[in-house]
Structure 1
Amino acid sequence: MKTGSMSEEVARERQDQYGYEITSLDQTTTLVESVKSGNADVLMDDYPVIAYGVQQGSGLVTVGEQVEAGDYGFAVNKGKNAELLEKFNTGLAELKDSGEYQQILDDFLASDDEAVDRSTFWGLVVTAMPALLTGLKNTLIVTAVAFLIAMVLGLVFGFMKISRNRFLRAISTAFVSIFRGTPILVWAFFFYFGLPQLIGTPVNIWVAGVLTLALNGAAYIAEIVRGGVQSVDPGQMEAARSLGLGHGKSMQKVVLPQAFKIMTPSLINQLVIMLKDSSLLLAIGFAELLYQAQQIYASNFRVTEVLLIVAVIYFVAITLLTQLANFADRKINK
């Protein structure tokens, strides 16, 4: 049963009568997967949700009679949006009185007469792909923007960490320690839910997503930069200085070109990590690839098949991205 739902309440009321065991889970998709995997014999949830999943090929069937309907609510902030609430109640009453509400429900649960049979795996691929490609596009965009910002910040904090200035080193160390030492999800929640409460204005979900990935990535890139520069033989700097070059010119002309060759594989790896980490943004509702998959299997309950499609898309995207990055590396560092 779904935790805290009316289904759970009804099941507990009848538990003594029928003598079954109850396992409460937090999501309908988890309930469905428990039945399909054999860990549960039956599930009980909202009929329209389950019936739509059956119609979409979830692999389950409905049995028995429906129990009495529960109450559903449309929530607004207390004391606010009175006009919206009134319009909603009026519109809902009109829909029910006219019979249109029932017609919408019937259409929602109607048999699928389209050319593509959604109950098959190929039908699932065809119907899910538009939403998944939209999610992939959002994933690539947010990753690209965040990586560019992370590169700039990573270079700045990386050079600060090897600076002779003790104060700059302390700032860089604090930045790296904070963002490497805390989960990325904490920052996603902070930027999207916490920061608006501090500044008094909403934060765009794209801004929150980019900030989350960029700052986390910058902390790792800063360490890559530090390690790359310090991996260059100190004799290279000494040789450049002996030829009359200043410290800045020696870094620019001699040390950094060698350091970037050393850093490139790690930077490519960090780009791939950021692409995969973008999936964590689904927790704040960012419409990336895994979020779109979640929306699909939340309605049709075909979790394994949808996630398999997503895994293939991720694999192809990361493979192509890695090959592109390696090609650029060979061109730049040949």
Structure 2
Amino acid sequence: MFRIKKFGWLFTISFIAVLAMNLLAGYGRFDHAIAQQSGGNPEKLTMVTSADYPPYEFRDTATGKNDIIGFDIDIAKKIAEELNFELEIRDTDFNGIIPALQSRRADFAMAGMTPTEERKKNVDFSEIYYEAKNTIVSQTGSNLKTPEDLAGKKIGVQLGSIQEKEAGKIAEKVQGVTVKPLNKTSELIQEIKANRIDAAIIEDTIAKGFVASNPDLEFNTLPNPEEAAGSAIAFPKGSERVDDFNRVLKEMKDSGEIDKLITKWFENQGKEESTGNATSSAASNSNFPLAAIMPSIPYIIDGIRVTLLFTALSALLGFIWGTILSLFKISTIKPLTWFANVYTSIFRGTPLLLQIAIVYYATPQLTGYDIPALLAGVITFTLNSGAYISETIRGGILAVDKGQREAALSLGVPYKPMMSDIILPQAIKNILPALVNESIALLKDSALVSTIGVADLLRRAQIVGAEKYIYFEPLLFAGIVYYLMVMSLTWGGYALERKLQRSS
């Protein structure tokens, strides 16, 4: 253990620094929306949503702001004002909303969510505050108007949505229907346009926006399902806040406040989209393929800071942890060797996305600490990357000529300075290309943290796509930025490698 003390202290200090950085600087925390306050120190309540579902909740990226706006947000702010609490809004994927409530990461959720019987087993719901209908969205001229028309077709739905359940019922009644769940409605639209699915079942208010932006698409309303479709507020099981929220919702309905918001976001918004999308379509048909997202490009670019911060911290800590594990593996102390080998087997044998979800959602349940999303990502990538890097470093150490070690020992050089001053520098120089490759993999895999709500480069591109009802252009721009960052890292690795070769 003494032989690795130096590296252990370095890891500990670095980890504390990362923790302090995340807690003090606030990187990786979710966006905040503060409700109006009426004196005193109101209680803070956290709302979780999926801000890629306009006009319910989305980001107005063209203004350069990072605020989440929409129909649900206005209702939440009104409830916060009436009940005198401070509102904090957290953004995540739709299929992560119920886990966030179950792990008590949020006090309530609003995301156009329908209170199905299956969901009621896991969370509580308010009364329905808005009723909607399901539609079949397909390519223009496909004539897919009824469930029977979907016979033999492949249809897409958003994972975890009420539409997924509706599609399942259709598949049971209509022969040959195949259901394909995807994470986001914008992905469904892209699948239709790419002819990978024949149609998608999407809520009517959302379908209108997509069809307005994509003239090659059409939608047809489905008959009302047996189970009433509508939006309600979700709460953790056993929440004491349901009655208070229901009271405010009833007051908003009786006063006409809900109707005003419906007009604002669904009727007036639709008119604005028609005008705005005409301009967007004209821009899309111009010679410059990214013209449609030009106003939102600064918003996407701002995600580079988060992506680079995440990659730098993960690479640094992963290297330190990997070095410690590699020393464990070549140690003569059997328990350390056993631990390092088992550890590497576990982290190389399970999906990285699963590891992120476990660290992010399980930490509050096990420790009571509401871990920030970026910190959860850094910890996960450090633990995962360390497993891979440890094998690379171990191989580099074993590749150093044994004569180097024997010469050092014959001269009476202690183990610690021998490793830090003689063996490790040579090993790192030999494995530098592999370390650069690992850093490149970290940079690209950093996009996985978007699944837990970190507003990195990919997440921001997806948000812009949802806001503008287009998908290809923002992802194309994000791909270009990722490529430029990877090429810069590659060239930097080549330069460092040449420098080390000249100095040898």
**TM-score, normalized by the shorter chain, greater than 0.5:** yes
Matched with 2:65 is none
Q: 2:231 — aligned with what? A: 72
Q: Residue 58 of structure 1 corresponds to which residue in structure 2? A: 214
* CA distance in structure 1 between the aligned counterparts of 2:349 and 2:168, rounded to whole angstroms: 44
CA deviation profile, 1:40-67 (whole Å, cap 9, x unmatched)? 5554422221222234x33444456786
Q: Higher strand proportion, which one? A: 2
Structure 1 residues 31 and 98: CA distance shift in structure 2, 3 A: closer
Alignment of 1:159-238 (within 5 A): 159-238=327-406
Q: Who is 1:108 aligned against?
A: 269
* Aligned pair partner of 1:247 in 415, 424, 437: 415
Q: 1:249: how far off? A: 3.1
Counterpart in the other structure of 1:81: 241
Q: Percent identity?
A: 27
CA distances 1:220-274 after superposition (whole Å, capped 9, x unpaired): 1111211111110001112223334233333333222211211211111111111
Distance (whole Å) between structure 1 residues aligned to residue 372 and residue 218 of structure 2: 41
Residue correspondence of structure 1 range 1-150 to structure 2 within 5 A: 2=157, 5=162, 9=166, 22-27=177-182, 28-39=185-196, 42-55=199-212, 57-62=213-218, 70-77=229-236, 78-82=238-242, 83-91=244-252, 94=255, 96=257, 99-111=260-272, 117-119=279-281, 120=284, 121-150=289-318
Q: Classify the secondary structure of the residue corresponding to 1:24.
A: strand
Q: Verify the 8 A CA contact 2:304 2:457 in the aligned structure 1.
A: yes
The amino acid that maps onto 2:202 is: D
Offset of 1:155 from its aligned partner? 1.3
Confirm whether residue 307 of structure 1 aligns to residue 475 of structure 2: yes
Deviation at 1:297, TM superposition (A): 3.1
Comparing 27-36 with 221-230, which one deviates more in the overlay?
27-36
User: Which deviates the most, 265-274 or 119-128?
Assistant: 119-128
Cα distance in 2 between the residues matched to 1:7 and 1:171: 43
Instruction: Report the 3-state secondary structure (helix = DSSP H, G, I; strand = E; otherwise coil) of the residue aligned with 1:287.
Output: coil
Structure 2, unpaired ranges of 5+: 1-154
TM-score (norm 2): 0.58
TM score, norm. by length of structure 1? 0.84
- For structure 1, the 5+ residue unaligned runs are none
1:282 matched residue in structure 2: 450
Change (3 A) 1:93 1:308: farther
Deviation track 1:156-196 (CA, whole Å, cap 9, x = no partner) reads 11112112222222222222222122211121111111222
CA contact (8 A) 1:95 1:101 kept: no
2:24 alignment counterpart: none
> Which stretch of structure 1 is more off in the superposition, 231-240 or 20-29?
20-29
Name the one with the larger helix percent: 1
For this pair of structures, how many residues does the alignment match?
A: 330
Q: Which moved more, 1:99-108 or 1:207-216?
A: 99-108
Write the distance in 2 (CA, Å) between the matches of 1:135 and 1:208.
Answer: 18
CA distance in structure 1 between the partners assigned to 2:374 and 2:168 by the alignment: 42
Report the residue type matching 2:269 in the other structure.
F
| Partner secondary structure for residue 109 of structure 1 | helix
Q: Is the 8 A contact 2:408 2:418 kept in 1?
A: yes
Structure 1 residues 265 and 116: CA distance shift in structure 2, 3 A: farther
Q: Deviations over 1:95-123 (max 9, x none)?
A: 54663431232332234556993231333
Q: How far 1:302 moved relative to its partner?
A: 3.0
Query: Is structure 2 residue 325 aligned with structure 1 residue 157?
Result: yes
